[in-house]
Amino acid sequence: MSNNIKSELEKIEIPAQLHDRVKLGVKQAKQEKLQEKKQPVKKLPPKRNKWKVGGIAAAAILTITLSSGFINPSMNQVLASTPLLGGIYEQFGDKMGMHLAEQNLVTQINQEVTKNGVTIKLTNVYFDGDVVSVTGVISGDLSKGHNEPGEVSMDVNFENNKGDNDPWLRGMSTDMQKSDGSYEFQWKMNYPYKEIKESYKLPITIHNINGIEGSWTFNVPVNQEASLARTLGHSQHYENEGVTVKLQELKQSKASSSLTFETITSFEGDYIELYKAEDENGKVLFHYENDTILTKSKEDDGYHHTLRKTFDQIAEGTKAITFYPSLTIADPTVQQKLDQNSFALESERTDLAIQVNKVTLEGDKLILDYEFQGLGENVSNHKFENIHHNLSYAFNLIDKDFIDKIDPENPFPPKGHSISRNEVKVIDKNNHQFQSVFDLKGEEKFENFLLEDTVLQLDFNSFIGNKELASFTVELPSQMGLRDGSLVP
């Protein structure tokens, strides 16, 4: 490098937060250069993406680096993959993406489609464990849509699926930020299938943006490096609750870990959550990470769910993990025809009950006065506020002739013949007495309302807390197999 250029580079002020990353980049570049001298020439892997720059000083460094050729290619690669310089994952607060970018494991795609004056460009994708991330940019005239200024919504499906039944949409998150008249976004999805393909094409279709119809279609290459896996084979049974947890596999990817496990419950709808895990030193490995439901089945011994949970990397050398499960029970909906002025609605699996003391019809208002029983004597203010709030949504009024017409898989109350909201008043806090008022001519209209032809339904589930089960510890196998279609035991 000439002295003049070197002198100019040294004058550039680098923000303090960049110092460590630039030093790391220089160190890695030197190490890679030494390795190149020691080892015979080998074929390089496919070149990954280069990133946008975050900051004026960093931009100056990257521009000189990439255009002048004075700094070796290894340094170029480190700068290209550094998340603080690339910026996109840092602005979305995505630590996994930042870590993968540092390892040069994010793929640049740059696929662009324009329809009806709106351009969508998909820019980058990564796949780690079972997490798939796609970033992109929306630009063009969005004012033709129906959203408020500054609001952006997209109707999207994956793998040519349609509507909300798309398995990729379960647990999908979207983050979006405005930037110079365009919108940068990130989708994060959980890989929805039990067997993971580490290299595949993901078809994506965006049907409309802000109500602007179109068909923005993409075919995105998704790849991840081979991961390491341990077979756990641990089974934990809780006899009193009639549930079992079976840990199947722990997988270590480049920026994350994932646990595949199976739960067995005696009652349909019960759900077992591994809400926390700690290593042998007490370090919390995850706390309420989301699960991906992979399979569901009814078998002779109960209801089976296979799930996968993705969380941060487990430290090398970890010998044991303690898991903390909890159980959420499913309480069947109870109902009563309103041909009586007083009756009780009792939970089937708990001690909770609602004693309705009076049913009154005043004009277009149906009024229920009732007492919530089984809550205990010492109900905290926070819990009472939650109960007060949840009562607004816990009841349904339904025309008896439409009860059997409700789809159990998609249980929306029939329009014009049901009401699912009510206004709750506290009558006596100490004795847990309330009053619910249903507006028969409000937003949800109930046509031809008659007390004797109406059924009151109540769902107790929102009032039943999770039950924490005894924790259990699993010793990790010392050997780990390479996940490349086979597993070394």
d(CA 328, CA 467): 6
Q: Which two tokens stand for residue 397?
A: 């009024």
Task: Please report whether residue 91 resides in a domain.
Answer: no
Same domain, 351 and 450: yes
Domain final position from 164, 190, 223: 223
Question: What is the average pLDDT across 423-452?
Answer: 95
- Domain holding 303: CATH number? 2.60.40.1640
Q: Tell me which amino acid residue 5 is.
A: I
Contact assessment for residue 54 and residue 137, using Cβ atoms and an 8 Å cutoff:
no
Half-sphere exposure at residue 241, Cβ-oriented, CA atoms within 13 angstroms? 23
Whether the predicted pLDDT of 17 surpasses 70: no
Does 433 fall in a domain? yes
Locate 162 and state its tokens: 């349609």
Rg (CA), the chain: 29
Per-residue pLDDT band at 58 (split at 50, 70, 90): very low
- ∠76-82-83 over CA atoms, to 5°? 150
The pTM assigned to this predicted structure is 0.72
What pLDDT shows up at residue 5? 40
Shared domain for 325 and 359, answered yes or no, is: no
8 found inside a domain = yes
Looking at 201, 223, 245, the residue that finishes a domain is: 223
Here the CATH number for the domain that contains residue 217 is 2.60.40.1630
Q: Is residue 63 part of a domain?
A: yes
- Number of domains into which the chain is organized: 4
Residue 489 maps to a domain? no
**Overall average pLDDT of the 412-440 stretch:** 93
In a domain, 99, yes or no: no
Flag the least confident range among 5-19, 59-73, 347-361: 59-73
Write the burial class of residue 42 (CB in 10 Å: 0-12 exposed, 13-18 middle, 19+ buried).
Answer: exposed
Based on the domain organization, do 350 and 318 belong to the same domain? Answer: no
CA–chain centroid gap for 151, Å, is: 21
**Do residue 215 and residue 125 come from a single domain?**
yes
Q: Is residue 101 part of a domain?
A: no
Q: What is the pLDDT of residue 479?
A: 57
Contacts of 60 (CB under 8 A, 6+ apart): 12
Last residue of a domain, one of 174, 197, 223: 223
**pLDDT tens digits, one per residue of 156-210:** 999 999 988 899 999 899 999 988 889 999 999 999 999 988 899 999 999 999 8
Residue 152 has what pLDDT? 85
Q: For the residues 105-134, what does the mean pLDDT come to?
A: 94
Residues 272 and 317 in one domain: yes
Verify that 455 and 347 share a domain, yes or no.
yes
Confirm whether 185 is domain-assigned.
yes
Residue 446 is classified by DSSP as: B
Evaluate whether 476 touches 250 at the Cβ level (below 8 Å): yes
Does one domain contain both 254 and 320? Answer: yes
Tokens of 449: 């309302």
357 lies in the same domain as 425:
yes
* Domain housing 65: 3-86
Q: Is 6 helix (H, G, I), strand (E, B) or coil?
A: helix
Q: What is the pLDDT of residue 442?
A: 92
Instruction: Give per-residue pLDDT as tens, 67-118.
Output: 223 333 333 333 344 434 347 899 899 999 999 999 899 999 999 999 999 9
* Residue 416 burial (CB count, 10 A): 12
Cβ atoms of 276 and 324 closer than 8 Å: yes
DSSP label of 59 = H
